[in-house]
């Protein structure tokens, strides 16, 4: 089993993996980019244990990728908001999404579609809108479940 640190690696990728290489970390960040920022909402979205989520959130706050902000005083409750440092990982996650769609697609196509909020175009590998050409960032994009057809296509259309 790999350790959490790579002390013998003089490599920025290895050092970055020490921060974001744990399997839940990028999924927590993904959800915070989508606006899921409260503990119970993250718990429901991710389907992980409370302890694992608490540890990941604490780690991301300690590393400066998320900021813990109070949104309620009694009882005290917090939300987790991406910092500038955390938002700089958004392109990495978008490229990972596009790469996964290309090489590991779900049956029937990508399960989610990243779209430009402004015009509804899809995000390109250059992180631009394929419809209007605008350069996109985390506040410009929404990721929605792909619409499923209510009726399957006739077999003749599937071969085209």
Which of the listed ranges 4-13, 84-93, 99-108 does the model predict with the highest average pLDDT? 84-93
How sure is the predictor about 145, in pLDDT bands with cuts at 50, 70 and 90? confident
For the beta carbon of residue 55, count every other beta carbon within 10 angstroms.
14
80 vs 116: CA distance, rounded Å: 24
Q: Which fold has domain 12-86?
A: Arc Repressor Mutant, subunit A (1.10.10)
Of the chain, the percentage scoring pLDDT greater than 90 comes to 68
- pTM, full prediction: 0.83
Name, in order, each residue with C-beta under 8 angstroms of 89's C-beta and a sequence gap of 6 or more: 20, 26, 29, 65
Torsion sign across C-alpha atoms 125, 127, 37, 51: positive
First to last CA, the chain: 46
- Give the mean model confidence (pLDDT) for residues 107-130: 92
> If you average pLDDT over residues 104-108, what whole number do you get?
87
Sort strands 66-72 and 77-82 into parallel, antiparallel or unpaired. antiparallel
In angstroms, rounded to a whole number, what is the distance separating the alpha carbons of residues 102 and 94?
12
Of the pLDDT bands very low, low, confident and very high (cuts 50, 70, 90), residue 49 is very high
160 pLDDT tier (thresholds 50, 70, 90): very low
pLDDT reading at 121 higher than 90: yes
pLDDT at residue 10 greater than cutoff 90: no
Task: Cite the residue boundaries of each domain of the chain with CATH code 1.10.10.10.
Answer: 12-86
Q: Summarize the confidence of residues 3-9 as an average pLDDT.
A: 67
């Amino acid at each position: 089993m790999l350790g959490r640190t790579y002390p013998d690696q003089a490599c920025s990728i290895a050092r970055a993996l020490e921060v974001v290489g744990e399997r839940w970390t990028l999924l927590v960040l993904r959800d915070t980019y989508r606006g899921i920022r409260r503990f119970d909402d993250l718990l429901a979205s991710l389907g992980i244990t409370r302890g694992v989520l608490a540890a990941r959130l604490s780690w991301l706050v300690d590393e400066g990728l998320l900021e813990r902000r109070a949104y309620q005083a009694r009882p005290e409750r917090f939300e987790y908001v991406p910092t500038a440092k955390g938002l700089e990982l958004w392109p990495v996650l978008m490229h990972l999404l596009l790469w996964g769609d290309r090489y590991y697609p779900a049956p029937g196509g990508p399960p989610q579609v990243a779209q430009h909020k402004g015009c509804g175009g899809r995000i390109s590998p250059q992180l631009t809108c394929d419809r209007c050409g605008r350069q996109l960032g985390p506040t410009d994009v929404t990721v929605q479940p792909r619409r499923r057809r209510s009726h399957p296509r006739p077999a003749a259309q599937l071969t085209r």
